[in-house]
Amino acid sequence: MNCVISGEFNFISLSLCNRLVELGNQIVLIDSNQDLSDVEFQQKILRVNLNKTDEFFYNEKPDMFFHFLKDDAEGCNIKNFIDSNIQILIEALDKAKDYESKFILIGSKPLSGKPDRTISRLSQYFAEELAQMFCENNSLALAVVRHFEVFGNSCNNENALIYRLEKAKTNNSIFSYKGSENERKNFIHLDDLISAIISISKNRWRGQIFNLGMQKTYSIKELVELFEIEKFVTNPINKKEYWDPVPDTTFAERSLQWKVKTCVEDYAEKFLQKKFRENPRHFFDSIWDWFFWNKILDYDAS
């Protein structure tokens, strides 16, 4: 299968790219001034300028478009951010229509009521509506993937909550959160997200929305305790607390035969075990503690 990956390029799209190559697909990355430095350009991974796609696909048409929405507007020019989520999306939809390709829109967040009044959420919501309208008017095979914050071993996003927790634990530094410790967040592991996207790509959809996330939310305080962080401060920036909803994953689970496999508790436990093994001091301290307390217990018993 010939696959196109367009839009925002990050560790999620990179992981999808690598997984698709492993499955024997050919990947074309649409270059729209993204950072593609992490991509290993193998024989099955090609880079194409957005303006030259017609020339490139003259003989061999793409079967599948994976388009990633930009998520974080912080430090970004608002016009450029909106252009990234709207203008580039329109161009990608037009290309998919011309080639009669399937299209998956990835990156919006599951909603409970109205979207948050931020540039990120509003532009994502508008992008969804635009794509579904395009699907209805042009008979485009479209699926929309909504997911919460992604975590995993290859997640190196400095703004990602769990990545920041890992860094704080590793460096024994203060974990600071701009908000209330009672705020609740939802997550999805990278492997679970990629497996769902691959499954979605196997069929032709008519604008269906796939909500992907755990059937559980975690408070900031609970996350700090899971990662055994000792130094923790909060800095509430306003009185409003942001609570992620628990998504309705019924349709995704039923239609894809898909379920979340990795929870935050298991991930945190494995992370802590790995750090324990990597630090010889902790290893020898644990042996000493075991030896010391066993000797005390033997002495008391005698």
Sequence-ordered list of residues with C-beta below 8 angstroms from that of 105, at least 6 positions apart, any chain: 67, 69, 89, 127, 128, 131, 142, 143, 144, 145
What architecture is domain 1-147?
3-Layer(aba) Sandwich (3.40)
Supply the pLDDT for residue 283.
47
> What are the boundaries of each domain within the chain?
1-147
Contact 27, 60 (CB under 8 A): no
Give the pLDDT of residue 31. 67
pLDDT at 39 (0 to 100) = 61
The whole-number mean pLDDT for each consecutive block of 10 residues of the chain, a chain of 302 residues, reads 87 90 88 60 69 73 91 65 81 90 88 65 85 92 93 82 93 90 93 96 94 93 94 76 85 95 94 74 50 50 48
- Tokens at 57, concatenated: 């696909």
pLDDT at 201: 96
